[in-house]
Amino acid sequence: MYVTAALGQWQGPVGPVPAGLAKWPADEELYTLCPSCGRVYRDSVIEEMGTAPVAFRVDVTAGPIAEALRIHWNLSAEE
C-alpha cells in the first residue's frame, strides 16, 4: 500500500479507499509539493519540458496537508 500523505490520495491494491483519503487520479499524474510554500508541480511536465511551472497551490499552514507534513517531518527527525 502506498499513500501520498500530503495530497491525501491512496494508491494501493484494488479495494475500498480508506476513509479520509481520495481515490488516485484517473490520469495517474504524479505531483511534487514544495512543503514550505505550497506550490505543486506536475512531474510529467518537469520531465517533458525540463521546467517546473506551478500547476496549483495548496495551504501548507493549516488543515490535513499541514498535519501530514508535520507528521512526516517528525518521523524523519526520529530516524
Q: What is the pLDDT of residue 25?
A: 67
Q: Is the pTM of this model over 0.85?
A: no
Q: What is the DSSP string of 23-39?
A: EPPTT---EEE-TTT-E
Q: What is the pLDDT of residue 5?
A: 46
Q: What is the pLDDT along the chain (79 residues), one digit of tens a residue?
A: 333 444 555 555 556 766 766 666 677 788 888 888 888 888 888 888 888 899 889 888 888 888 888 887 776 677 6
DSSP 3-state of 47? helix
Q: What is the pLDDT of residue 71?
A: 82
State the Cα–Cα distance between residues 2 and 12, nearest whole angstrom.
6
At residue 9, φ and ψ (nearest 5 deg) are -115, 150
Give the residue extent of every domain in the chain.
29-79
